Structure formats: C-alpha cells, structure tokens
Amino acid sequence: MQPANALSLAVNNVPLELTQAELFEYVFDDPLLAWSFVLNIALAGLTILAIAYLGRNLTDPRAKMIAISVMLISVVSISSYSGLTSGLTLSIIDMPAGHPAEGVTTAGEDGVLTMWGRYLTWTFSTPFILIALGMLAGSNWTKILTSVAFTIAMCVTGLAAALTTSSLVMRWWWFVISSIFFLVIVYIILVDWSAEAQVTGTQDIFNTLKILTVVGWFGYPILWALGVEGFAVLDVALTSWGYSILDIITKYIVTMLIMFYVIEEPPEITGGSDYGAS
C-alpha cells in the first residue's frame, strides 16, 4: 500500500524526510528562530532604500561603483534570508558518528537543522564587501579579485563542512581548509589594504571598517564551531541569532558607514569622469 503521508513513511521504517512546507512551519513554530530571519529581511530592505536615497546625487563613477557594491550586499542578504524563512535553503542533516549531535532528531527526522543557505549566499555577498573595502583602501584589481576568489573558496568549503555527513574528520578538514582561505583574506585586509589606505588617505574610515570586518568575520567560524554544526554547545536558534547579529555588524553597519563617507565624494575615493573609460 502507498504510504499516505510523511509520518506513515517513518512508521514503515523508510527514512522520513521533511517537506519544505514542514520546514517552513518548523521555523515559525520557533519564534526566536523565525525572528532571527525576519529581522534581517527588514534590515536588508531598509538598507537598500537608504542607499538609494543617500546615493541619489552621486555623480562620480567610482563613488557610484562603491555604492552599488554595498547595495548588492543587501540585495543578496534579502534573498538569502527569504530562502531561509521559506524553508527552501534549510535541511535536516544527520550528523556522522562521533559528532556531539549524532542521533539527534528534529521534528521527527534524524538530524539537526542546518541553515546551509547561509553558507551558499555568503559566496555572493562577501565578495561585494571586499570590493567596497578594497576600493576604499585604493587597492588594485589584482588584490581585490584575489580576496574575492578566496572568499568564494572559503564559503564553498564552509558549505562542504556543513553538508558532509560521511565522516566527522572530513567535516573538520573542510573547516580547516576554509579557515586557511579566511586567513588569506585577513592578511590582505590587515597588511596590504591597511598600508594602501595610508597612501590613499582613507586610513581613518578604513581603520574603523577594518576592525568591524576582521573582528566580525572571526565571529563566523567561532559560531560554526560552537553551534550545531561543530561542538553543538549552542542550539539552532541561538546560533542563528549569532549569525544574524554578526550580519548586522558586517553588512548593514559597515554599509552605512561606507555610504556616509562616499556621499561626500571625497577626492581620495573618486575617479573622475574618465574612470573606467579605458
């Protein structure tokens, strides 16, 4: 006989798989988790509107490019959090043997709630943070695109760490690879771009952004390690709030600081009407 619903599938000893609608319900049954997503949708939307308003009189092409770059951070973010809220980019992942959350069940299914959409969408949002920072520091495109390539590599290997179910050692191996890529980015920001910002004359704003970025970005692997993906010290809702708060600092606060600086179109960051023409 054909099983009538997911529950009867479990009864018949076939692994139960939650539908997207059930994941959606699961999120909204936990207001703490739901709010960690919804707040960010609201903040990303407000940030996009604020950038459009603040940037409406920009004339310099280089200043405009920095503004567009920070706008794209929030464009990705609103999509990312919509994916999480709808259940589209959430899964219940069964942890490998030896993992502290091994054998845990979530909403009747074996495994823990994994917000894999976060790691996926960071692949698209973090490059725009680095493009804006690199341009503010007055760096060249070789270094900016190197940092972009490494952040994409960091996020994709972080996604692999979260989704690996075969072996605990392999999960942490992905984490180590991702962390090495992360350190390359930290080096570029702290060493190369800090020196370049001194020469460009943007050291004041760059130093503030550098501290927010480097300190904030270190919070992500720490949360990964403490959350359900790693040592499972923090539960899913707390981990999610942790990421959401870090996102507020590393995206929206950084964006607003950049916008308030850029709208004045200081000579340190402008390119003149010929910028990008050749």
The answer to whether the beta carbons of residues 221 and 155 sit under 8 Å apart is no
Tell me which stretch binds ligand RET (CB under 6 A): 12-20, 102-110, 172-180, 267-275: 172-180
CA of residue 245 relative to chain centroid, distance: 11
Count of chain residues binding ligand RET (CB under 6 A): 18
Give me the phi and psi of 192, to 5 degrees please: -65, -55
Minimum distance of ligand RET from residue 70's CB (angstroms):
11
Name which of residues 87 to 126 contact ligand RET (CB under 6 A). Answer: 119, 122, 125-126
Minimum distance of ligand RET from residue 139's CB (angstroms):
18
Query: Counting beta carbons within 10 angstroms of the beta carbon of residue 71, is it exposed (0 to 12), middle (13 to 18) or buried (19 or more)?
Result: buried
Minimum distance of ligand RET from residue 128's CB (angstroms):
8
Tell me which stretch binds ligand RET (CB under 6 A): 30-38, 63-71, 141-149, 217-225: 217-225
Give me the phi and psi of 91, to 5 degrees please: -145, 155
**What is 55-114 written as a DSSP string?**
TTT---HHHHHHHHHHHHHHHHHHHHHHHHHHTTT-EEEPPPTT-TTTT-EETTEESEEE
First to last CA, the chain: 69
Sign of CA dihedral 192, 198, 202, 207: positive
**What is 64-80 written as a DSSP string?**
HHHHHHHHHHHHHHHHH
Of the residues 26, 81, 206, 217, which one makes contact with ligand RET according to CB under 6 A: 217
Tell me which stretch binds ligand RET (CB under 6 A): 35-43, 50-58, 106-114, 174-182: 174-182
Determine the Cα–Cα distance for residues 171 and 100; give it in Å rounded to an integer. 13
Under the binding rule (CB under 6 A), the answer on residue 81 touching ligand RET is no
Nearer to ligand RET, 193 or 220 (CB): 220
Minimum distance of ligand RET from residue 152's CB (angstroms):
11
Of the residues 116, 150, 224, 252, which one makes contact with ligand RET according to CB under 6 A: 224
Residue-wise over 140-162: b if at least 16 C-beta within 10 A, else e? eeebbebbbebbbbbbbbbbbbb
Of the residues 158, 197, 206, 244, which one makes contact with ligand RET according to CB under 6 A: 158
How many Cα neighbours within 13 Å face the side chain of 16? 20
Nearer to ligand RET, 58 or 189 (CB): 189
Of the residues 26, 37, 116, 182, which one makes contact with ligand RET according to CB under 6 A: 182
Nearer to ligand RET, 18 or 66 (CB): 66
Name which of residues 124 to 143 contact ligand RET (CB under 6 A). Answer: 125-126
**Cβ-proximal residue to ligand RET, closest one:** 158
Contact residues toward ligand RET (CB under 6 A) are 119, 122, 125-126, 154, 158, 161, 175, 178-179, 182, 217, 220-221, 224, 247, 250-251
